[in-house]
Chain A
Amino acid sequence: MKPFREQNYYELLDLAPDAGADAVAKAYASAKRMFSADALGSYSLFDPAEREALLARIDEAWRALSDPALRARYDEETLGLVRAPADAASPAQPKPPAFSYADLAVTDVTGATLRARREAIGLPLQEIAVTTRISIAYLQFIEEEHMKGLPHDAYLRGYLTQYARALGLDPHTVADGYLSRLRTLRGGKP
C-alpha cells in the first residue's frame, strides 16, 4: 500500500482494474463524498492543503478513467495492461444506462435538468410515484421548482433522494444540489 500521492487511479478510487464504467462513476461519487471537507470518515486526518491535493488527484483519476480512450491508454502506458477489444464475438454487454451515475454535478441540478433526465430514459412520473410512494403532485412540484407547493426541506431531502434513485442518479448530488438551488432562489446564500 502507498499513500495517495503514489497511488494509481484505480487505487485512488478503491477500484479493481477491471471495474465497469458504472462502478467507476459510483466510486468517483463516493470518493468525492468521503474526502469532502465536511465528511466524517476523513475528519482530522488531512489538513486543508492535503485534502485539496487528494481531491485534485481523485478528479484526475475520474477524467482518465471515465473516458474509454484515455482509460485504455492509461491502462497500457502506466499499468502495462492490454485489454481485449470488445468485439462482436464477446457476449452481449448489458445496455449501458442512458447516462452515467456521476456525470451530474451539484451545480447542474435544477427542476428542469431533472425532468430532462427523466424524459431521456422515458420514465413517466406516474411510475416514480408508484415505486417511491411519493405523491405525483410533489414530484411535479420538484420538477417545476414550485416553491409554495414543496414540503419542508427535511422531508424534501428524502423525496429527492428517492426520486434520484428512481432515475439512477446519485442521491447525494441531487439532494444537495437541489436544496442549494432552492436556497439561492429564495434569495439566501447558495
Chain B
Amino acid sequence: MPGTDDNGRLVQREIWAIGGGKGGTGKTFLSASLAIGLARLGKRVIAIDADLGCANLHTALGAAPPAATLSDFIKGRVKSLSDVLGDTALPGLRLISGAHDFLEIANPKYTEKMRLIKQIQELDVDYIILDLGAGTAFNSLDFFLAADRGILTVIPEPTSIENAYRFIKSAFYRRFKRAVRHPDVKALVSCAMDQKNERGIRTPHDLITGVEAIDPEAGGRLRKTMAQFSPKIVVNQVRSQDDATLGLSMRSSCSKYFGIQVEYLGYVEYDDSVWRAMKRRRPSAVDYPDSCSSRGAERVLANLLKGQQIAFDLSVRG
C-alpha cells in the first residue's frame, strides 16, 4: 500500500498476509522464509506474528522470546507499535511478536484491532509480513482482508483443502457484511453464512443475486468487491507431481465455484530440513538455504515480487 514517508516521499509499503485455515500447513514456515528472503534482497522488513494467542514466529526466526509483544500494544501499555519492535539476527528484518500471555488478547475488541491495523499500515518499512493464526476467526479474516496480498498455504490433504475453501468463503462474507448498510441486505448476508440456510443461497454468487433484488446498488458493490478479491495459493509439503498440480485444480475450482481469479504462486517440496531446523529453533531458510523447501519458498517469493504465477506446463501432468 503506497504511503508517504516523513519527507513526503512516496513509499511502496506492501503488506502480505499468510493464512490458510488449517493448522500445520506451513504458514509460519512460509512467513519466516518470505521475510528472510526479502531481507536478503536488501528490503526493510517487519514480520508480525498475528496469530494472537498461539504466537511462535519468533521461534521460527530463531529469535529469543520477546520482551515486549503485541499484547502490550493492544492493552495500551505502550503507545506505538514501534515500541514492541524487536531485532532479529538478520540485518533488515525486525519482528513484532504475538501475544502469548493473556487469553483475552486472543480476541481483541474490533476497535483495538482496527487501531492495530491502522498502525501496521503506517509502519516505516518496505514489506510487512503477517503470520496469521489457523482457523477462520474474525481476527485472521480481518488481517487477511487488510493486507495488499493474501496468501493461503495448503497441504495435499482433504482437511486442508476443505479449510482453505472455508476460509475463502468466510473472508467473502466478512467483507460483504462490511460493505453493505441496508438492514435487509445485512440480514441476507448473515443468513447466507449458514450453509444450510432456507433461502437456498449456496455460493457468493447466489448471494449477490439475492442482494441485487433488494438493493441493486449494494449488489453492484458486492460484485466489484468480489472481482477485486484474488487470494494466492501456495501448496506446501509436495511429494508428487499430482500434489504440485493441486494448485491448478484449486485455481480452476475457485473460478468455477466463486467466479474469482485465484493465483497459484507455486509449491514447496516436502523435506526434512524444515523439521530439523525447527528442532534447533533455527530458520530453515538460513540453516538449509539449498534445501528443496527453501528453494521452493524462494520461487514463491520471486513470483510474488514479479506479480506472476507459477509457470506450469500442463502436458507434464502425470
**Per-position binary interface string of chain A over residues 25-36, scored 1 when its CB falls under 8 Å from any chain B CB and 0 otherwise:** 011001100110
| Whole-angstrom CA separation of A12 from B253 in the bound complex | 10
Contact, CB under 8 Å: B318 / A1: no
* Interface residue SS majority, chain B: helix
Contact B158 A3, beta carbon cutoff 8 Å = no
Shortest distance from the beta carbon of B240 to any chain A beta carbon, whole Å: 11
What A residues does B256 contact at CB under 8 A? 3-4, 7, 12, 35, 42, 54
Task: Judge if B246 is at the interface, Cβ distance under 8 Å.
Answer: yes
B252 at the interface (CB under 8 A from A): yes
Contact of A40 among B156, B255, B257, B318 (CB under 8 A): B156
Task: Tell me how far the C-beta of B210 lies from the nearest C-beta in chain A, rounded to whole angstroms.
Answer: 14
Closest to A165 in B: B318
Q: Kindly state the separation between the CA atoms of A135 and B256 in the bound complex, as whole angstroms.
A: 43
Q: Are A161 and B253 in contact (CB under 8 A)?
A: no
Min CB distance, B249 to chain A, in Å?
A: 3
Do B261 and A34 touch across chains, with their CB atoms under 8 A apart?
A: no
Question: What are 5 sample pairs from A and B whose C-beta atoms fall under 8 A apart?
Answer: A1-B259, A41-B246, A41-B252, A42-B249, A165-B318
Q: Which of B180-219 contact A (CB under 8 A)?
A: 202-203, 205
A54 to chain B: closest CB distance in Å? Answer: 6
Q: Are A34 and B253 in contact (CB under 8 A)?
A: yes
Query: What residues on A are CB-neighbors of B157 within 8 Å?
Result: 40
A1-39: which have CB < 8 Å to B? 1-4, 6-7, 11-12, 14, 26-27, 30-31, 34-35, 39
Residues of A43-62 whose CB lies within 8 A of B = 43-47, 50, 54
Residues of A within 8 A of B253 (CB): 34-35, 41-42, 45-46
Q: Please give, as numbers and ranges, the residues of chain B lying within 8 Å of A161 by CB-CB distance.
A: 318
Give 7 new A-B contacts, CB below 8 A, not counting A1-B261, A44-B165, A45-B253: A1-B255, A2-B259, A3-B256, A35-B256, A41-B246, A42-B249, A165-B318
Size category of the A interface is 20 to 34
With an 8 A cutoff between CB atoms, is B117 at the interface?
no
Residues of chain B with a CB closer than 8 A to A6's CB? 259
Given A40-B249, A42-B249, A47-B202; A171-B162 close (CB under 8 Å)? no
Q: Report the interface size for chain B: residues with CB under 8 A from the other chain.
A: 28
Q: For chains A and B in complex, what number of residue pairs have CB atoms within 8 angstroms?
A: 72
**9 residue pairs, one from A and one from B, having the closest CB atoms:** A41-B249, A4-B256, A44-B162, A34-B249, A3-B259, A42-B253, A1-B259, A43-B161, A2-B259
CB-defined contacts of A11 to chain B, threshold 8 Å: 255
Contact B227 A1 (CB under 8 A): yes
Instruction: Please determine whether B205 and A3 come into contact, CB atoms closer than 8 angstroms.
Output: yes
Encoded as 1 (CB less than 8 Å from any A CB) or 0, chain B from 248 to 266 comes to: 1110110111111100000
Residues of B within 8 A of A12 (CB): 256
B257 touches A44 (CB 8 A): no
Instruction: With A1-B259, A4-B256, A47-B202 as known contacts, state yes or no: A40 contacts B246, CB within 8 Å.
Output: yes
- Kindly name the residue among B157, B252, B256, B260 whose own CB sees the greatest number of chain A CB atoms within 10 A: B256
Chain A residues with CB under 8 A of B261: 1
Asked whether B314 lies within 8 Å of A26 as measured between CB atoms, the reply is: yes
Instruction: Decide if B259 touches A45 in the complex (CB within 8 Å).
Output: no
A26 to B318, CA, bound (A): 12
Q: How far is the CA of A30 from the CA of B312 in the complex (A)?
A: 14
Roughly how many angstroms separate A104 CA and B310 CA in the complex, as a whole number?
Answer: 30
